[in-house]
Amino acid sequence: MAITREEVRHVAMLFRMSLSEEEIARLQQQLSQIIDYFQVLQQVDTEGVPPTSHTLALENVMRDDEPRPSYPAEDILANAPLSEGGFFRVRAVLE
């Protein structure tokens, strides 16, 4: 297996996502198979080749800093699971 159960747990926590024991077992097997498949890339010679992050040759697209109306706060908050007084509401972060 290319990835251990502990690593699956660790990666899930890096993303802040919980997983059931059954999901961890299945993902360990499936991710291992896929990561093994990725080894095909190691056979490609990329010595001196620069990386491509984007196919368009655009850089630093700028515009004038002109104020424009934004979306009304109530429209944005309309989809919020919990809101109060014009804010998104979450559980206390600090004890």
Partner 1 sequence: MPPVELYDLTIHEASDLLSRRELSSRELTQAVLDRIHQVEERVEAFVTITEELALKQADEADRRIAAGDAAPLTGIPAAIKDVICTKGVPTTCGSRMLANFLPPYQAHVTERLLDAGLVMVGKANMDEFAMGSSTENSAFHPTHNPWDLERVPGGSSGGSAAAVAASECIYALGSDTGGSIRQPAALCGVVGFKPTYGRISRFGLVAFASSLDQIGPLTKDVTDCALVMNVIAGHDRRDSTSAPLDVPDYTQSLITDLKGIRIGVPQEYFVEGMDSQVRASIEAAVNKMAELGAEVDWQVSLPSTGPALACYYIIAPSEAMANLARYDGVKYGYSDRRGDSMWQNMELTRQHGFGDEVKRRIMLGTYALSAGYYDAYYLKAQKVRTLIRREFDAAFQRCDVLVTAVSPTPAFKLGEKVADPLQMYLSDVCTIPMNIAGLPAISVPCGFAPAEGGLPVGVQIVAKPFDETTILRVAYAYEQATDWHKARPSL
Residues that bind partner 1 (CB under 8 A): 3, 7-8, 11-12, 14-20, 23, 27, 30-31, 33-35, 37-38, 40-44, 46, 49-56, 58, 61, 63, 71, 75-76, 78-82, 88, 90-93
What DSSP element (H or E) covers 83? strand 83-84
Query: How many whole angstroms separate alpha carbon 29 and alpha carbon 39?
Result: 16
Helix, strand, coil share of the chain (percent; to 5): 40, 5, 55
Q: Minimum CB separation from partner 1 for residue 10, in Å?
A: 8
Helix (H, G, I), strand (E, B), or coil: what is residue 36?
Answer: helix
Give me Rg for the CA atoms of the chain: 23
Q: Minimum CB separation from partner 1 for residue 25, in Å?
A: 13
Q: Minimum CB separation from partner 1 for residue 27, in Å?
A: 6
